[in-house]
Amino acid sequence: MNQTSETVVIIGGAVIGSFVAFFLRKEGFSGSIKVVERDSTYQFSSTALSAASIRTQFGCPFNIGMSLFSAQVFKDIKQWFGEDADIGFEERGYLILGSPEHADSQRNNALMQIGHGAQVDILDPAGARQRFPWLNVEDVGIGTFGTANEGWFDAWALLQCVRREARRLGVEYVQGEATGFTTAGDKVSAVKLAAGQTLACDWCVNAAGAAGGKVAGWLDIQLPVEPRKRTVFHIKAPLAGTGFPMLFDNSGMWIRPEGDGFICGIAPEPARDAEASDDFEPDHYLLEETLWPLLAHRIPAMEQLRVQRAWAGHYEVNLLDHNGVVGAHPTLGNFIFATGFSGHGVMHSPATGRAVAELITHGRYRSLDLSPLGYERIAARRPIVESVVY
């Protein structure tokens, strides 16, 4: 393949699309790379509104591998993006609490994670309480705590780092809204923009995040990826954040330190979790009706919390199995998926970018085999369910 004359058009200029562009250059692609982004302010981008955490505690081995690579990038951020690069990576672990009836399965899952390179401590309720004295463990059966490669970071700073470096490497960011495609035989030949222009391409990458299903639909490709709204509450409570991890509770709520307080959230019940294309209004009812009682139960000091603010962003939920969709379409071979990560897209953006770049540049995955995430399972409705999702 003559890379110097080829063009890659990436739909979506947030963190996944930008990492695809960056790693294309790192893998030696010397052709034209154009990243189409409809909102250069990223005001409603899932990246900018993300809680920006990373964990190795997953149920699928490929997700563990993706996290291990991404964590290494985050820890070595200055080596990747220069001495002024800083994403504020707080490597303070995830504490995942399980109920007594799920203790055996969570313990087995943790042993699998350790076998794939994760560093996880398995805690009984007394051990969890000893390490985190503010916990109420009366209905806890197990705790698993990631001692390395887990924590949180500044997603906005990460986006700025990779976007700046991609541009320095000659990647062109095109402000505009993609609206459709031109096809020729078994290939996508161009991307249409709302302003009337078309961008010819030899490869097209769908990194459109929560709009990934809509973009695939322009080619009559069924991709069960939809935006789902998730509300984040910034709170204060009479409890120090020092040594506090990212906590995932068996009730479904999560909380971690942020600034001089904490941020927390919980998914709405399925009946109230509708498709949310243009809805960014925080669901304040969640705190009063659901989240606050759960917080106060698990962490008694949270009984006295005060809300500082709230915001809402979109998860790009893959309704089939909550795993990302990565790789080429089986018949439109130059149409590449990089979407549908169901809440772990930001943490897996470096690994996804590298994988897609390897696929385009070398015709195969070289570093980490992400073929299980291919579209074929979507077409066959053969889910690979990620069990550790919130």
Average pLDDT over residues 91-102: 97
pLDDT digits (tens, 9 = 90+) for 204-255: 999 999 999 999 999 999 999 999 999 999 999 999 999 999 999 999 999 9
The partner residues of 316 in beta bridges, in order of sequence, read 227
Average pLDDT over residues 58-74: 97
For 178, residues 6+ apart whose C-beta sits below 8 A from its C-beta are 11, 36, 38, 191, 192, 193, 194, 208, 215
Single pTM value for the model: 0.95
Average pLDDT over residues 45-63: 86
Lowest mean pLDDT among 252-256, 279-283, 330-334, 351-355: 279-283
* pLDDT over 70 at 49, yes or no: no
* pLDDT over 90 at 66, yes or no: yes
* pLDDT over 80 at 4, yes or no: no
Domains of the chain: 3-52+155-224+320-379 (3.50.50.60), 91-148+230-310 (3.30.9.10)
pLDDT digits (tens, 9 = 90+) for 186-198: 999 999 999 999 9
* pLDDT over 80 at 127, yes or no: yes
By CB neighbour count within 10 A (0-12 exposed, 13-18 middle, 19+ buried), where does 380 fall?
exposed
Q: Residue 276: which pLDDT band, with cuts at 50, 70 and 90?
A: confident
Whole-number percent of the chain with pLDDT over 90: 89
Q: Residue 46: which pLDDT band, with cuts at 50, 70 and 90?
A: low
By CB neighbour count within 10 A (0-12 exposed, 13-18 middle, 19+ buried), where does 2 fall?
exposed
**Three-class DSSP labels, 60-123:** CHHHHHHHHHHHHHHHCHHHHHCCCCCCCCECCCEEEEECHHHHHHHHHHHHHHHHCCCCEEEE
Lowest mean pLDDT among 40-49, 294-303, 323-332: 40-49
